[in-house]
Amino acid sequence: MMISRKKQAAMLADMPASMAAAVADYRWARDSVGESDAAVYRLQGTDGAPDLFLKHGREAAAVDLADELARLQWLAQYISVPAVTQFAKLAGPDQAWLLTAALPGKTASEVLEANPALGLTVADALAGFLRRLHALPVEDCPFDAGHVVRLAQARRRIDAGLVDADDFDAGREGWTAEQVWTALQGCLPVAPDVVVTHGDFSLDNILLHEGAVVGCLDVGRAGIADRYQDLAIVCHGLAELDASLPQRFVEQYGIIDADQRKLQFHLLLDELF
């Protein structure tokens, strides 16, 4: 949805001057896809200018954007992620803006919604890309995204009232955040098989073109974690479209028998973010 010129002008007035000048001539559309606590806008260029994405967050969301910036810069050494155009962070009250270039392609969700017959092609492409991501050097990755860290973050989100229970999956419709937390405890302990993970490997965050993955979005949760952090989210997304696709995906990824307990744990954990 396009935002009004009045609202755009108000946002520009709050920005650092250099960033406001860079985006003033764009048309802004609010992007509601994804789970970020930051507001996301697609900036449509004129006269041939390339499209951009702008994320704006306050307080905790501002901290998250700084974390995403660091991850984008590290991951850019290895895989295709949005190029950072500008970043700004101000204090009092805390605000941050992250401006990135738009990547080509369509999300896996868009591809499958337009043509469900491409399910196997998309599942195979996602599996190949995730294998490459999980093969990145763990010893060089400076970001800890393991379940101990994520559980502590989840507990803080519950206590702060930040968990949206209305957005829980159908199997947990009507649950409270505390019920999800209790179910998580029942899945512990978890023995992690650590790799470099995306952290939110959903169909909305992976871009494809002509059957191949050309990049990934929303890497603010990327870091060292159990590989099932990514496997659980993508398998859940594929299953919503075709019940046969998760098995195809995990086989192409290289797993014969997926650990159902780990899948459940990471799906429960994702509900709290």
Q: Would residue 144 show up in a list of annotated catalytic residues for this protein?
A: no
Taking each helix axis as running N to C, give the angle between helix 260-271 and helix 147-159, from 0 to 180 degrees, rounded to the nearest 10.
30
Q: Please report, for residues 126, 155, 184, 226, 237, the alpha-carbon distance to residue 32 in angstroms, rounded to integers and kept in the order given.
A: 23, 25, 28, 28, 18
Four-residue CA torsion sign, 91, 156, 184, 190: positive
State how far the Cα of 245 lies from the Cα of 96, in Å rounded to an integer.
39
State how far the Cα of 79 lies from the Cα of 60, in Å rounded to an integer.
27
Q: Which of 37, 64, 200, 218 is catalytic?
A: 200
Q: In what order do the strands lie in the sheet with 84-90?
A: 27-30, 39-44, 52-58, 95-101, 84-90
State how far the Cα of 223 lies from the Cα of 226, in Å rounded to an integer.
10
Nearest to 153 by CA among 35, 33, 270, 265: 270
Which amino acid makes up residue 45? G
Residues marked as catalytic: 200
